[in-house]
Chain A
Amino acid sequence: MMDTYILAIESSCDETSMAIVRNGCEVIALSITTQMDTHAKYGGVIPEIASRMHTEAITFVLEDCLEKAGMKLEDVDAIAVTYAPGLTGSLMVGVEGAKILALMYHKPLIAVNHLIGHIYANNLENKMEYPLLALIVSGGHTELLVMEDDYKFKKLGETLDDAIGEAYDKVARVVGLPYPGGPNIEKLAREGSHTYSLPKPVMDNTYNFSYSGLKSAVINLVHNEIQRGNEIKKEDLAKTFQDVAIDELVRKVDKAFKNTGIKRLVIAGGVSANQYLKSEMSKLCQKYDAELLIPRMLYCTDNAAMIGAAAYPKYLRKEFSSYNLEVSSSADIV
């Protein structure tokens, strides 16, 4: 079979990224420019600033990506782009950029869901085999899915309120850690012990998650301790919070292993970079003699290579988008 080269664009949040991916699994070139330092000043991503920075970066990133690949736009077979979910203005920069590239070079346009991209990031390491359980954990999403084949998803459960990454960021703010909160909580938790008491979120029979109650419990706890004149042991609070937050995931995935008999788990999304999550899930997978797939750090966070990987099955099935393609801030996988 002929090799397929897909140029992929990702601009859903605060990273402008482009990649050229061969056959959905081999990264020929990857360029990422992050705006993290800019947004850190504001304590979070400011959508309008993100859109502006994508606009300034887009041709630089394209140039860098093509140079790294030693390829020309004429050489690629398709243009893929994240169209959802994410910040509308930011997505739009990538989508309009992708459309004009597709039009100029007469290439098919492939619209990719960012979350599906995170799952397919695993194909950049090892080809995924089905069926598998997919746990998506990020700043905007917490979902547990069954994947029976390429693009065949069945939702088991999802968060009823906040996403896990959101809870991490919020707790980081409450204890005064800088943005991005998640990695900083994780770092701090390594030095702490589970000394505080926080409630376990959803204790029912579903696969659903909840993080707003846990978040509120942390806020209340800090508030009460301050009122009593007690000092907060930040590292202990971080450890206690992380234990409860990750246990919420472990319990649901445990149940899914038990009930489905599936022997494979893929973890996707920004929070999959969390080492504690990785070690807990690894223990769980040993218990069920299941295979655990997590992409390396570079592919866990937002990047265009995963979009190129996720675009490949759509390319093979000729699922192309028209130039009317619109962005969407929230798009469910199923």
Chain B
Amino acid sequence: MYTLFIDTHYISLHLALFKDGKVIEEIIKNEAKHSSYFIPLLKELLENNSIQFEQLSGIIVVNGPGSFTGVRIGVVVAKMIGYCKNIPLKAISFLQALSLKYDKDVTIGIKDRNGAFVGSFDKDHNLKGDYFYLSNQELEDYPEKIIIDDSINLDMVYKYLESKEVIPPHLLKPIYVKKIEVNK
């Protein structure tokens, strides 16, 4: 039982392969050009473990928030594999994945150059309200404590998603938080 993990939400490309719920290989590459490196790394990960796509029993994809283009690459590839090979897809936001490390109500942020994506979670890791974006200044002035974090625990992610519903590939979408110019 192999599960593929895909995270392209920000600068580092993060791929992992689980076998029966345990990580057997993990690739992290800090490289802004996801479009150039992602598929070659995925190929490498599967070849290293002599895995064919047909042998995957699940895909976990981080569907944001983060760089619009970065997230999209992971989501498009996950959708295509899920659709073509009929492999169950599950998605998790990077912020929710971080919340799994905390067994209490938390507000968590992930930094990018100009600020941070923020989400508040209850102790069961359910999102309270919506995700939002704070500029560096707004982050400093924010009245509540925001935990800034950037490393998730893959075992926790796998376990948390075990009981969660599968998303049909057609309906998988990135989480977009920042407003684009025309909609401001």
Contact = CB atoms under 8 A, between A and B. Distances in A.
Given A46-B180, A58-B79, A59-B80, A100 B39 contact: yes
Interface of A: 42, 46, 48-49, 51-52, 55-56, 58-60, 62-63, 73, 88-89, 92-93, 95-97, 99-101, 103-105, 322-327
Interface of B: 33, 35-40, 42-43, 53, 68-69, 72-73, 75-77, 79-81, 83-85, 169-170, 173-174, 176, 180, 182
Contact of A97 (B37, B40, B76): B76
Contacts of B72: 51-52, 55, 89, 92-93
Contacts, number: 85
A59 B170 contact: yes
Given A96-B39, A323-B43, A55 B83 contact: no
Nearest to B171: A56
A96 B77 contact: yes
A96 B35 contact: yes
Chain B CB within 10 A, most for which of A101, A103, A325, A327: A103
A92 B169 CA distance: 19
A289 to B, nearest CB: 48
Contacts of A105: 84
Contact of B174 (A55, A59, A95, A323): A55
A331 to B, nearest CB: 15
Nearest to B170: A59
Given A96-B76, A103-B39, A51 B182 contact: no
Nearest to B71: A55
Closest 7 interchain pairs by CB?
A323-B39, A59-B83, A99-B39, A48-B180, A100-B80, A323-B40, A100-B77
Given A89-B69, A96-B77, 14 more contacts: A51-B68, A55-B79, A56-B173, A59-B80, A59-B83, A62-B80, A63-B83, A92-B35, A92-B73, A97-B80, A100-B80, A105-B84, A323-B40, A323-B43
Nearest to A326: B36
Nearest to A51: B72
A17 B37 CA distance: 25
30 contacts: A42-B182, A46-B182, A48-B68, A49-B180, A49-B182, A51-B69, A52-B72, A52-B174, A52-B176, A55-B72, A58-B80, A59-B170, A62-B80, A88-B69, A92-B72, A93-B76, A95-B35, A96-B35, A96-B39, A96-B73, A96-B76, A97-B80, A100-B39, A101-B80, A101-B84, A103-B42, A103-B43, A104-B80, A323-B40, A326-B36
Contacts of A324: 36-37, 40
Contacts of B174: 52, 55
B173 to A, nearest CB: 6
Contact of B38 (A48, A59, A96, A322): A96
Contacts of B173: 55-56
B52 to A, nearest CB: 9
A158 to B, nearest CB: 28
Given A42-B182, A49-B180, A95-B35, A62 B83 contact: yes
B133 to A, nearest CB: 15
A56 B172 CA distance: 8
Given A55-B75, A59-B83, A327 B69 contact: no
Nearest to A44: B182
Chain B CB within 10 A, most for which of A49, A60, A62, A100: A100
A326 B36 CA distance: 6
Nearest to B82: A59
Nearest to A322: B40
A9 to B, nearest CB: 11
Chain A CB within 10 A, most for which of B35, B36, B77: B35
B15 to A, nearest CB: 13
A127 B83 CA distance: 36
A215 to B, nearest CB: 23
